[in-house]
Structure formats: structure tokens, C-alpha cells
Amino acid sequence: DTGVSQDPRHKITKRGQNVTFRCDPISEHNRLYWYRQTLGQGPEFLTYFQNEAQLEKSRLLSDRFSAERPKGSFSTLEIQRTEQGDSAMYLCASSFSLDSSYNEQFFGPGTRLTVL
Amino acid sequence: KNQVEQSPQSLIILEGKNCTLQCNYTVSPFSNLRWYKQDTGRGPVSLTIMTFSENTKSNGRYTATLDADTKQSSLHITASQLSDSASYICVVRAGGYNKLIFGAGTRLAVHP
């Protein structure tokens, strides 16, 4: 399977715990995006990387959230001291920056986080 | 403010029938518009992408239209199948930006 993969697919945690999600983009894609999606809503942008550089962060990305892409390949999203409001689907997408004006993003299956 | 609004919020149709989903956007400058299909618990999958110069684009039983003057798009589904049951999300990319602006989606249920 050469698509975007995410791990784990589901995570249940207690409030106050830290969680970390991983995203493996399509291998030749240099851009990687993180989104959060709550029930009945479209995805909301969190942050994106071009290679290993984090170029933009949304104001939704509070101090408890941190994302890394150390070698320009896979990325991790960590949430510290989780709160019940963090419960959502976390989606990762990747794209190739030289893909004309389309810059199509391919999404992974998501990680569903439930904070009890 | 850049926004994408979709209607209806939800829709139920019988298998074999056609339907049309609507998308209005206030995004400037406009780069392109996409329709995604999202099955429950899965990531979105692209159906069509259109730039301002493209008025219509088809992908099998899915046909998207774009009117850049009125800033409206529609997604027409022909001869619906049970597997079409999903959320359909309209997404607009603003020129010069790498982030996409998502609508809330239309939840379609196709019943036998």
C-alpha cells in the first residue's frame, strides 16, 4: 500500500495523559499536513511541513500540541495533558509541492482520539 | 473571511436516484475547488479538482460544476448506489496559501 498511513487508528486515553500519533506520507511527497476533524464538521488545518521545516501553525495548535518531522519523511503529533475537548479524528495528508496548481493532498485514514 | 458553506446538511435518497449537492464559497484569491468523499471513520478521498477556468469535470457517476463568477459549485451524483452513502466535502484552496478551507460537508444516505 503506497498511500498515506497513520498509526494508531484508534486511541483511548484518560484526561491528563500524553498521546503521540504517527503519520507516514506517500514517499515522494515533500509536504505533510495535520488536520483535526470533529463530528459533523470538515477538517480544520493544524499545521504543515515542507520537508523537515514546519512552515505554518494554526492558532488551534495550542501549547499542548507539538508536531515534528525530523527527517522530512514521517511525522509525529503529540498532545500533552489531554483534555476531553481534544477528542476528535486527527487526519494527516501529504502532497508534492511541484504538482502544478492542484497541489492535491492525499489523506490518511485518520487516528480517532477519545479522551475519557 | 474565507468560508465554504454546503447545503443541504444531510440528504436521504433511494438507490438509483440522482442528487445534487451545493457549495458556496467566499474565498479570495481563488485557486481551485475540490470535492472529497469521506466514508465514516475514514480519511477524505478526492473526487474532482477544478481551477477557475474549468466549468465542469466528471469522475464516473460524479459530475462537478463550477461557476467562478457566482462562487458556486455543485456535485451531481447519477444513478446512486448504496456505496455512495458518505459525507461529501467541498474544499477551496486560496491562491498563494498551502492550506485548504473545508466545508462542513453534506451527509448523504442512499437507501435501498
Q: Are A11 and A32 in contact (CB under 8 A)?
A: no
- pLDDT per residue over A85-111, tens digit each? 999 999 999 998 765 556 788 999 999
Do B105 and A41 count as a contact with CB atoms less than 8 A apart?
yes
Chosen from B102, B107, B108 to mutate, greatest number of chain A CBs within 10 A: B102
Separation CA B17–CA B71 (nearest Å): 27
Separation CA A107–CA B109 (nearest Å): 23
Give the pLDDT band of residue B97 (cuts 50, 70, 90): low
* CA of A7 vs chain B CAs: smallest distance (Å): 13
Nearest CA in chain A to B90: A42
**What is the pLDDT averaged over residues B88-94?**
93
Residue with cell 470533529: A38
* CA of A54 vs chain B CAs: smallest distance (Å): 12
C-alpha cell at A13: 486515553
Residue segments in chain A with a per-residue pLDDT below the cut of 70:
1, 98-102
Do A40 and B104 count as a contact with CB atoms less than 8 A apart?
yes
**What is the pLDDT averaged over residues B25-44?**
91
Strand partners, A70: none
Classify residue B90 as left (phi > 0), alpha (psi -120 to 50) or beta. beta
Do A45 and B89 count as a contact with CB atoms less than 8 A apart?
no
Separation CA B84–CA B56 (nearest Å): 20
| pLDDT score for A72 | 86
* CA of A81 vs chain B CAs: smallest distance (Å): 25
Nearest CA in chain B to A44: B102
**What is the pLDDT averaged over residues B10-34?**
94
| pLDDT score for A40 | 87
Higher pLDDT, B15 or A61: B15
